[in-house]
Structure 1
Amino acid sequence: MTLLILFISLLVMLLLGFPVMVVLGASSLIAILVEGSVPDFIVLHRMVSGMDSFPLLSIPFFVLAGSLMNSAGITGRIFDFARALVGWMPGGLGHVNVGASVIFAGMSGAAVADAGGLGAIEIKAMRNAGYDPGFSVGVTAASSTIGPIIPPSLPLVIYGVTASTSIGQLFAAGLIPGLLMAVALMIMVAWYAHRYHYPRDVAFALKWIAYTFRRAFLSLMTPVIIVGGIVLGIFTATEAAIAAVAYAMVLGAVVYRTLTWRRLISVTMETIETTGIIMMIIAASAVFSWLLTSHHVAEGFASWMLTFTSNPVLILLLMTLILFVVGCFMETIAAITILVPILLPIAVSLGVDPVQFGIVMVLNLMIGLLTPPVGLVLYVLSQVSKVPFERCAVATLPFLFPLFVVLMLVTFVPAISMWLPTMLYR
């Protein structure tokens, strides 16, 4: 009865358009009050304990680091370097789009930050070069999903806390799948370039590559500091986030002199707002997850799935489908905190490593950011490009295919995600 009330109230409030954090917290409170056997103050207790985690301190710092990179003009230098590096290929700016996202992924850890910051530069350049607006938006949207896979990654931090899994190993596990996503998208861009005769953007020139590399060198050191520091054990993921903020501030305020007090205050307020929303979702999700766990939903769901099939491959495909559907309707962080207690025990029982499953889950939910009705990345790019949301969604559809191919490879070939963490940590 309690679970029925929980899910009915959840569905009703979602359909009414309430914010996710309100939906999760209120539905949990209603279920607890109706059940009557649990004191209502347990809601506050669970909310506080859900936020009481040291790794979660990295969230505001990674958000701030990404915002500082955008505000200090660092993204422009990265784009110029990527342009010199791969812009000579047919469909040059499409390849530049993907390459710049790979580099920026090592700084921001968020798809929306990539789409809103770097995406604005990329779409403007492609539009000026005469590329079809739909193609420009599609490749920008798809490449932005690389950000949360290549370390650092906010969704992987949330998953690591929820699943009690090493964040360092998760970061290491995301590197190869992220690069594989980039290769798959560049193959797709090459196919488009061949079919529609898209031009090369610039001629290949070692001098130009060297010049843009020198201009972007200090910016390119950001992912080296973050990832290298974590892998070498110099600092934790949280400390790496703090180091990224300090480095971005030094670059923006001292080296490039593009970070003014007004911009600093602006990005700080944006970070406070974003962090507040994320933490409230985590707090509300902690109560919701506790209810699911205390009522043995994971065990019941596993039994239900086994009534259809006991084939591990089919079960993994079914979980992938569930994650994709949820990603279409729910914000990533909320989906992670709700689904991990349900799906992770099933995956572990099938022999899937929690680190590998984290990459599979986050990659799946990132694809969900490219699909209506939620499609947060699509909304951002629609605003940036002034292209209607519906057209953005249609233009992005072909780019889902290479991402699904990578998802299947990561799901059924564990070595792709597990080779690096095994080498470094095990």
Structure 2
Amino acid sequence: MLVDVAPLRSSPAFAKLWTGTSIAQIGAQVTIVAVGLHVYELTQSTLAVSFVALWALGPMILAGFVGGALADTFDRRKVALATASCAWLSIGTMTVIAFLDVTAIWPYYALAAVNAASATILGATRGAILPRLLPTQLLPAAAALSGITMGLAITVGPAVAGVMVASVGVPWTYLLDVVLFSAAFIGILSLPPMRPEGTRASPGFSSVVESMRFLRTAPNVRATFIFDLVAMIFGNPRVVFPAAGALVLGGGPVTVGALTASFAAGALLSGIVSGPLGQVRRQGRAVTLSIAAFGVFTALFGAVLLTTMLVSGGHPPDGVIMPAIVLAGLALAGTGAADNVSAVFRTTILQAAAPDDVRGRMQGLFYVVVAGGPRVGDLLAGVLATTIALWAPALIGGVLIVAIMLMMLRFARGFQRYDALHPTP
């Protein structure tokens, strides 16, 4: 039942990369929560918090396509090192202007966009590297270990961010990410040279066109992107967390950290007991069912907010409403567990089915979807929360996700029959 740690024993390079990434991602999650709290503190606007995502979306999409081409053209170790340096510098600059008490919003938007674009290229390059470090049969276990990494990061990072913002302030919270992200360089520097195999791409528009041509002939790879977009666009109510902590559940920044950490706790727990996932052959069907479960738990979170608001008559709470926070946390833990299971299978399908000479570009598109989808979801959630109510993004979005996945079980039959023992794009 427990997670398979064979990838860590099989490849010392993978072990070092995984360790460095685990530490760095904690810092990244600290900053994500801190930026949201900082912008909300400066503007008192949930819509302004969602604009952090909007500013980052365009650069992230461009970075996904360009970064994937770079990873299919140059030494992937060097590409990872360069983009990690850029991400680290953007967080360092954000820390400096926060200590200088800069209250203009646009520098934080701009630096968050640079950081997100750099992280997209870094993630795409790292995803293209992993299948070169491990045999194919260990890729599901490696994906599960990555799920534990992210679960640990989202569990620890937001909780630490909420406490630090409330106690020592935003600038010191940003500085923590500067320190933690430095661990990423340890894993990257330990890698061997990693030039792409097969036909090497050219880092231009023709390379992007070529990758789109491949994607048209790869229905299983394409389905992993489409299914994840459905989940992330309609099931991502994190922008309502600051307002929910202040106006519905009580507790302010500490509640925001606890809600975000609950999602990660579910992902972490599902990763710890992920041993049986490596035996699943029908991985496309597993993706569909896990995203449907994600939708159910998302809707439950919205129902908790709606019920709490009805009971309180829409008035801000005088203190912390602990029963509602516990129920909301359990619902978010369910979404985290379901999302992690989906991610394990989607990652495995992509890495096993895509040839090495297009793997960087497919990983780039994967990170556009993984990172860009939630940002579109942030914007949609901000609009729904502003025009309807704070409960609307989760409740409406969760119901839509379940309905779409039930349709996919019936109509996307080729993806439902995908066989892990005979991976085809």
Q: Does TM-score exceed 0.5, indicating one fold?
A: no
TM-score by length of 2: 0.30
Name the structure, 1 or 2, with higher relative contact order (CA <8 Å, separation 6+). Answer: 2
Q: State which structure, 1 or 2, has the greater radius of gyration over its C-alpha atoms.
A: 1
TM-score by length of 1: 0.30
